[in-house]
Structure 1
Amino acid sequence: MQSTPNYLWELDDKLGQGATATVYKARNKKSGEEVAVKVFNNTSYLRPYEVQMREFEMLGKLNHINIVKLFAVEETGSTKQKVLIMEYCSSGSLLSVLEEPENAFGLSESEFLIVVQCVVAGMNHLRENDIVHRDIKPGNIMRLIGEDGRSIYKLTDFGAARQLQDDEKFMSIYGTEEYLHPDMYERAVLRKSHQKAYGVTVDLWSIGVTFYHAACGSLPFIPYGGPRNNKEIMHKITTEKPQGAIAGVQKKLKGPIEWIYDLPVNCRLSEGLKTQLKSILPNILEADQVKCWSFDQFFVETNSMLERMVIHVFSLPQARMLKIYLHHYNSVGMFMETVTKQTGVAPERQTYFCEGHLYPISPTWQVLQLSKTTEQYPLILVACESEGPMGVAYKDPALDFPRFLHSVEVSFDCSVAKTVVSAVYQTLRVTQSLLTCQEFILRGTYWLIESLKAECCRIYEKKSAVMSYFKCLVNAENRNTRLYNTVYKVTADVKEMQEHGEFSRKLQAISTALSSCSHSSEKESMLGFMLLEVSKDQDHIRVNRSISRIDQCLQKMQLIFKQFKERKSHPKLSYNEEQIHKLDKINLANLAKKVLTIFQDEVVQKYQTTLQGHSSKMRTIAEIQNHLGLVNGYLVDCDRELRSYEETVNSTVDRLSQRMLQLCLTHSNHSNISSYHSPTQEDLTLRMLKLRDQMKSVSYELEKNNSIIDRLSVPSSAGI
């Protein structure tokens, strides 16, 4: 037991150990409050006194939620050795989080964004106080859980920190080699002397490596054999990295370096967030300190990324989930352009469903006006594109399953067991993604078919209204013809007769167009059949037990892995312990095979079947949409022609009425017309008035049909 006047701790309660100090979990003697106590070793006292005091001074200046708090500086009872009493972070470090099998391929998107937000805020506080940390790495970023259940990450270990303004340089070497700036690495690790001085941006390099590690679960620069075993190639990778590259790997001894420009497919971040990161990482993972971003630019770009809101979209054409990151003040037009970049669906072709209903949007809106979305309730983009669905992008988890050696090597077996459990976690996540994809494929298809069925009914009603309209105009044309015949028994007007013939031919053309607008009951039946099929598939998805079965295997494998970790601390096993260890290896391998069998036979096969069926349904839906679009187009054209013809009919009736009156007057004033056997003026007038009354009733019917057609002429979903 060790103690100071106010705190005590046991040497077994070790939290971490570095080159110059060890950190223990301690308790306040009065309150029992848990704290962390940093006890310096003899090596630390070999440093100059001002260097020893630097950490005390640095922590005394800092006060921020993302910086580990310094409570007190006390002395131990026996040796009078100074120790730091600091805030205790109960959830370990970011490194311990990344070392969990669950995070072998990087953090979840939400957790990664919390890491970025906390590190950026903490570093901003350091720069406001002109402090350079010089040892940023996951092991020096502590974690605790806040009252809201969210993680809070805090920068710690300021033993290497010092006061340094933006334009100042330093020459001393500090840091951890995997996260060390290449210029510092050359001198500290390769022991090559040079006259280079270092500025505050060396912290940006360490942050870049840390962010990549948190996003992918591995370091960005890996020579063959590992960074610690191939130091020359490690330096070569970091210094020769091409512009825009964010990682480099050497897979064979003396082999070429493979430059990586994108985050890996098995990274848990969405394409939307990857795009944001790809604009930041290359500019802070820059060996040339002159070309590297300044901290001001880094803060601007990272805060811009963190301030964006996310819009969840499931693209039915591509059968994949999207996360669109935009500022709340951006326009919906920008949102649609971003969707186009990720899907290839042009803005004018984008139609969305929100909870089963068509969701009209305007490019002039701000994205803040869009309905709030989540991963469970995204907007669903529907558009029938010619290319088939892409589906979920994933790496086959089977490629990440290693094999155990037959011999018993506890340390190696523990490492393999961790890799196997990590691969199962990844398999479980891919399974969840594939099942979620199927769920949204069926949900979106169901809504789309329902919408098309409603569209069929609407177009059928519209066609009925247009047909009624057409029949009214045919009646009007018949009455119009009788007026013509009455007029032309008295006199013939060649021009009038030609115009009347042209109107009749136009009406016949409209009749031909309407006959081509046949309402296909076969297509409506096809939609009903697909709807039934989709409903059955939805029922199958709901009862799928693949996730629970894989999770059960995972829980058993976790227990075995826990046993392996315990044996790793005591590698010399007795005979009986060795036999149990062998059986555990067999059991772990069998569980891994079971997981792969479930994944391949029950998940992937059904997913591929769903994807193929989706591709076929989308082609059928596209054909029906095209058909409905053509029919709707014909009806719109017919309606326009009929309205034009109605105006012609009305004007013709008025003109003929005037003509009839003129003929009557001419008949009474010219005696040479008496030879004709013509009606009297009174007869002509009465006939004209009777026909006009008939035309009024026709006009009433026309107006009634027009109102029906106008009501049905709403934006059509047939163009989806």
Structure 2
Amino acid sequence: MQSTPNYLWSTEDLLGQGATASVYKARNKKSGELVAVKVFNNASYLRPHEVQMREFEMLRKLNHKNIVKLFAVEETGSSKQKVLVMEYCSSGSLLNVLEDPANAFGLAESEFLIVLQCVVAGMNHLRENGVVHRDIKPGNIMRLVGEDGQSIYKLTDFGAARELEDDEKFVSVYGTEEYLHPDVYERAVLRKPQQKAFGVTVDLWSIGVTFYHAATGSLPFVPFGGPRRNKEIMYKITTEKPPGAIAGIQRQENGNIEWSYELPITCRLSTGLKDQLIPVLANILELDQEKCWGFDQFFAGTNDILHRIVVDVFSLQQASSHRIYIHSYNTTAKFLDAVFKQTNIAPHHQEYFFEGHLYELDPNLQAHNFCRTTESSPLTLLSTSEQPEDVLGVRYRDPALDFPKLVPRVDVVADCSAAKSAVGAAHQTLRVGQALRRGRELLARGLQWVMFQAVPGGSRDPAGVDVLETRLQRVDQELSQCSHSIFDFQGALDGILAELVKDRQQVHEDKSTQQMECCLEKMQGIYKQFKKARTCLRLGYNEEQIHKLDKLNLGSLARRVVSIFQNCVQQYQEVLALHSSRMRKVCEIKKHLKRLSNRISACSVEMMECQDCLQGALDRLLQVEKWNLALAPPVPSPVPLSQEMALRMQELLEQMRSVSCNLQLNNSIIERLGGAAPTPSV
């Protein structure tokens, strides 16, 4: 145990260790509050006194929720070593998060955005106080979980920090190899003599590497054998990187460098967020100081991302999901353009459904008033273009390629690494499987909505009283023709609907993702055992036999996950193959139903006008009859003229009722098939 006047800790509670200090979990002696204490070693006192004091001064100056707080500076009782008492972040660092096999291919989009927001806010506070950090990396970004269950990330380790304004330079070198600006790397790692001075933008390079690492789970610049085994190639990659490239990898010894201008397909970020993030990365991972962004541009670019809202869209014909990042004040027109950029469906051909209903977007509606969407409850996009849309489906790299080969020989270090890779690949396989399952559900659900969509009515045409009988005959003939077409369409749609109901039932009953989750849980258990074994210098005979058995089980579970996933892919591809033909058939019927709906609406309007004419004529006849009775005595007549007309109108009324019944029958079928707008009753 070690202590200061107010704090107590065990050297076994080590949180982290560096060249000049170690960090431990400690407690306040009076309150029991958990804190982190940074204890400096003898090597730290070999530094100049002003360098030793710099970290204390930096932390005293800074006060922000995204920077680890300094509570006190104390000394140990015996050795009088300096101790920084700081805020304790119980969830480790961003590096710990990225080393979790679940994040082997990068953070989930929601978590990445939290990292982005926290780091940008923390860096903004540093620049407001004229501080350059000089050692930004995932290990120096601590994490704790707030009361709402959401992560909070905080910058820490200001041992290399110093005050520096935007136009000032420094010549001393600090930092961690993989995250160093190339100019600093050249002197600090390669030990090459050069007279370059460095500015605040060295932090921007480190932030770019950190963001890339968080987004993909990998470093952006990787020579064959790794950054620390091939330092000259590492320097070559970072200094010869073409403008706009955000990554470079050498896959073979002495091989060419493969440049990338995009984030990898295995990255868990959506295309919408990638499109916003890539320009930021390209402009801060820039060696040429004249082309590299400054902090003002960096803050403007990142805050533009953070101030956008997300609208989830599922393109039905293309079978593809999209996330549209748009400002809350942008109107429908801007949204439609953003959708066009991702789907290539022109704004005037975009029709939307939400939760089973046609969703009409007013041109002046602002994005913050749009319906609230999620990946599982998106706006469903239907293209009204005459040209068929290509089916794209879920884009992914086959996760089976990422499962490592397990060799029989026992090597606790290599086996632990292989188990970690296998668990990471299983997580990725599960995520892709879940995306395929979600895609199948969205396809079946969306197509059902299109089949039951609302169809607008027709327009009114005036007519006279003298042609009532002719008009009613024409309406009757028109409705008869519509009836034959409607029943033909009804049969076709009923068949598709039955298939869709069956598809949705199959998706509901599909246990593939649960089976993969079960395998993954067992694989994680084996990985935990391998992590324990890695700490042993040598395994005993019994432990080694158990280790071998676990390795066999790990391989078996990995093959099981791949087999289940391949079944998921087969089912998904079968659904996509059927979807194209169904979509074409439903869209064609939809067009015919619109035409029929317009014809029936026109019949409805004509019926209403006939009714109005008939009612007016009857009213006039009754009025004339009253006048005749009032002005003259009754004249004997077999059938008075007014009575003859009334009888004829009565016949017309009966005919109208018959046609009305036919109209209502057709209209009810249209409503069921295509959701036609209700017509006025007669």
* Interval of TM-score (by shorter of Structure 1 and Structure 2): 0.7 to 0.9
Whether the 8 Å CA contact 1:411–1:571 is kept in 2: the answer is: no
Q: Does 1:541 align with 2:543?
A: no
Q: Determine the structure 2 residue equivalent to 1:51.
A: 51
Q: Determine the structure 2 residue equivalent to 1:294.
A: 294
Whether the 8 Å CA contact 1:132–1:162 is kept in 2: the answer is: yes
From 389, 392, 416, the equivalent of 2:391 is 389
Q: Find the aligned partners of 1:61 and 1:121 in 2 and give their Cα distance.
A: 16
Greater Rg by CA: 1
Q: Find the aligned partners of 2:209 and 2:652 in 1 and give their Cα distance.
A: 81
Residue type matched to 1:312 in 2? D
Residue type matched to 2:212 in 1? Y
Please state how far the C-alpha of 1:317 moved relative to its aligned partner. Answer: 1.4
Residue type matched to 2:488 in 1? E
Please state how far the C-alpha of 1:296 moved relative to its aligned partner. Answer: 1.0
Residue type matched to 1:565 in 2? K
Whether the 8 Å CA contact 1:244–1:282 is kept in 2: the answer is: yes
| TM-score, normalised with respect to structure 1 | 0.82
Q: Find the aligned partners of 1:241 and 1:19 in 2 and give their Cα distance.
A: 31
SS at match of 1:391: coil
Please state how far the C-alpha of 1:473 moved relative to its aligned partner. Answer: 4.8
Cα distance, 1:613–1:477 mapped onto 2, change above 3 Å: closer
From 412, 424, 427, the equivalent of 2:426 is 424
Q: Find the aligned partners of 2:15 and 2:583 in 1 and give their Cα distance.
A: 57
Paired residues for 1:285-434 under 5 Å: 285-383=285-383, 386-434=388-436
Segments of 5+ residues of structure 1 without an aligned counterpart are 479-506, 647-686
Q: Determine the structure 2 residue equivalent to 1:531.
A: 497
Superimposed CA distance per residue, residues 547-578 of structure 1 (whole angstroms, 9 cap, x where no aligned partner): 11111111111111001000101131112211
Whether the 8 Å CA contact 2:72–2:84 is kept in 1: the answer is: yes
Q: Determine the structure 2 residue equivalent to 1:576.
A: 542
Q: Find the aligned partners of 1:241 and 1:341 in 2 and give their Cα distance.
A: 28
Q: Find the aligned partners of 1:240 and 1:189 in 2 and give their Cα distance.
A: 17
Q: Determine the structure 2 residue equivalent to 1:448.
A: 450
From 541, 545, 563, the equivalent of 2:529 is 563
Q: Determine the structure 1 residue equivalent to 2:65.
A: 65
Please state how far the C-alpha of 1:638 moved relative to its aligned partner. Answer: 10
Whether the 8 Å CA contact 2:452–2:675 is kept in 1: the answer is: no
Q: Find the aligned partners of 2:181 and 2:134 in 1 and give their Cα distance.
A: 10
Please state how far the C-alpha of 1:623 moved relative to its aligned partner. Answer: 2.0
Residue type matched to 2:419 in 1? A
Residue type matched to 2:495 in 1? F
Q: Determine the structure 1 residue equivalent to 2:571.
A: 606
Q: Find the aligned partners of 2:197 and 2:312 in 1 and give their Cα distance.
A: 46
Whether the 8 Å CA contact 1:514–1:635 is kept in 2: the answer is: no
Q: Determine the structure 1 residue equivalent to 2:262.
A: 262
Paired residues for 1:633-712 under 5 Å: none
Please state how far the C-alpha of 1:529 moved relative to its aligned partner. Answer: 1.6
Range with greater deviation from structure 2 (92-101 or 571-580): 571-580
Residue type matched to 1:179 in 2? Y
Please state how far the C-alpha of 1:512 moved relative to its aligned partner. Answer: 10
Superimposed CA distance per residue, residues 82-101 of structure 1 (whole angstroms, 9 cap, x where no aligned partner): 11111111100000100000
Q: Does 1:551 align with 2:517?
A: yes
Please state how far the C-alpha of 1:254 moved relative to its aligned partner. Answer: 1.4
Please state how far the C-alpha of 1:637 moved relative to its aligned partner. Answer: 10
Identity %: 59
Q: Determine the structure 2 residue equivalent to 1:626.
A: 591
Paired residues for 1:218-297 under 5 Å: 218-297=218-297
Q: Find the aligned partners of 1:404 and 1:313 in 2 and give their Cα distance.
A: 41
Q: Find the aligned partners of 2:441 and 2:263 in 1 and give their Cα distance.
A: 27
Residue type matched to 1:316 in 2? L
Paired residues for 1:132-143 under 5 Å: 132-143=132-143
Superimposed CA distance per residue, residues 374-413 of structure 1 (whole angstroms, 9 cap, x where no aligned partner): 2232211123651332111111110001111121111001
Q: Find the aligned partners of 2:584 and 2:21 in 1 and give their Cα distance.
A: 67
Please state how far the C-alpha of 1:513 moved relative to its aligned partner. Answer: 13
Whether the 8 Å CA contact 2:187–2:193 is kept in 1: the answer is: yes
SS at match of 2:575: helix
Q: Find the aligned partners of 1:588 and 1:2 in 2 and give their Cα distance.
A: 43
Residue type matched to 1:18 in 2? G
Whether the 8 Å CA contact 2:94–2:142 is kept in 1: the answer is: yes
Residue type matched to 1:570 in 2? C
Q: Find the aligned partners of 1:363 and 1:197 in 2 and give their Cα distance.
A: 54
Please state how far the C-alpha of 1:290 moved relative to its aligned partner. Answer: 2.2
Q: Find the aligned partners of 1:574 and 1:369 in 2 and give their Cα distance.
A: 65
Cα distance, 1:580–1:623 mapped onto 2, change above 3 Å: same
Q: Determine the structure 2 residue equivalent to 1:586.
A: 552
Residue type matched to 1:439 in 2? E
Q: Find the aligned partners of 2:464 and 2:121 in 1 and give their Cα distance.
A: 71
Please state how far the C-alpha of 1:246 moved relative to its aligned partner. Answer: 1.0
Q: Find the aligned partners of 1:517 and 1:471 in 2 and give their Cα distance.
A: 27
Whether the 8 Å CA contact 2:93–2:143 is kept in 1: the answer is: yes
Residue type matched to 1:584 in 2? D
Residue type matched to 2:524 in 1? Q
Q: Determine the structure 2 residue equivalent to 1:521.
A: 487
Q: Find the aligned partners of 1:448 and 1:571 in 2 and give their Cα distance.
A: 64
Cα distance, 1:477–1:429 mapped onto 2, change above 3 Å: closer
Q: Find the aligned partners of 1:69 and 1:621 in 2 and give their Cα distance.
A: 61
Q: Find the aligned partners of 1:405 and 1:605 in 2 and give their Cα distance.
A: 30
| TM-score, normalised with respect to structure 2 | 0.86
Whether the 8 Å CA contact 1:333–1:362 is kept in 2: the answer is: no
Residue type matched to 1:398 in 2? A
Q: Find the aligned partners of 1:471 and 1:626 in 2 and give their Cα distance.
A: 34
Q: Does 1:156 align with 2:156?
A: yes
Residue type matched to 1:386 in 2? P
SS at match of 1:279: helix
SS at match of 1:519: helix
Computed over aligned residues only, the root mean square deviation of the Cα atoms, in angstroms, reads: 3.6
Whether the 8 Å CA contact 1:517–1:631 is kept in 2: the answer is: no
Aligned residues: 638
Please state how far the C-alpha of 1:476 moved relative to its aligned partner. Answer: 6.2
Q: Determine the structure 2 residue equivalent to 1:657.
A: none
Superimposed CA distance per residue, residues 66-111 of structure 1 (whole angstroms, 9 cap, x where no aligned partner): 0001111111011011111111111000001000000000000010
Q: Does 1:87 align with 2:52?
A: no
Please state how far the C-alpha of 1:150 moved relative to its aligned partner. Answer: 0.5
Superimposed CA distance per residue, residues 303-358 of structure 1 (whole angstroms, 9 cap, x where no aligned partner): 11101111111221111221111111001111111111111221111111111111
Q: Does 1:174 align with 2:174?
A: yes
Q: Find the aligned partners of 1:717 and 1:365 in 2 and give their Cα distance.
A: 25
SS at match of 1:280: helix
Q: Find the aligned partners of 2:466 and 2:497 in 1 and give their Cα distance.
A: 38
Residue type matched to 1:536 in 2? K
Cα distance, 1:30–1:170 mapped onto 2, change above 3 Å: same
Q: Find the aligned partners of 1:122 and 1:219 in 2 and give their Cα distance.
A: 22
Cα distance, 1:532–1:56 mapped onto 2, change above 3 Å: same
Cα distance, 1:698–1:168 mapped onto 2, change above 3 Å: farther
Q: Find the aligned partners of 1:477 and 1:382 in 2 and give their Cα distance.
A: 38
Please state how far the C-alpha of 1:276 moved relative to its aligned partner. Answer: 0.6
Residue type matched to 1:166 in 2? D
Cα distance, 1:469–1:260 mapped onto 2, change above 3 Å: farther
Range with greater deviation from structure 2 (313-322 or 396-405): 313-322
Whether the 8 Å CA contact 2:55–2:158 is kept in 1: the answer is: yes
Whether the 8 Å CA contact 2:451–2:590 is kept in 1: the answer is: no
SS at match of 2:407: coil
Q: Find the aligned partners of 1:84 and 1:352 in 2 and give their Cα distance.
A: 58
Q: Find the aligned partners of 1:158 and 1:297 in 2 and give their Cα distance.
A: 24
Whether the 8 Å CA contact 1:514–1:638 is kept in 2: the answer is: no
Q: Determine the structure 2 residue equivalent to 1:193.
A: 193
Q: Find the aligned partners of 1:471 and 1:403 in 2 and give their Cα distance.
A: 87
Please state how far the C-alpha of 1:626 moved relative to its aligned partner. Answer: 3.3
Runs of 4+ in 1 over 6 A off after TM superposition: 468-472, 511-518, 633-640, 711-714
SS at match of 2:248: strand
Segments of 5+ residues of structure 2 without an aligned counterpart are 611-640, 677-682
Q: Determine the structure 2 residue equivalent to 1:203.
A: 203
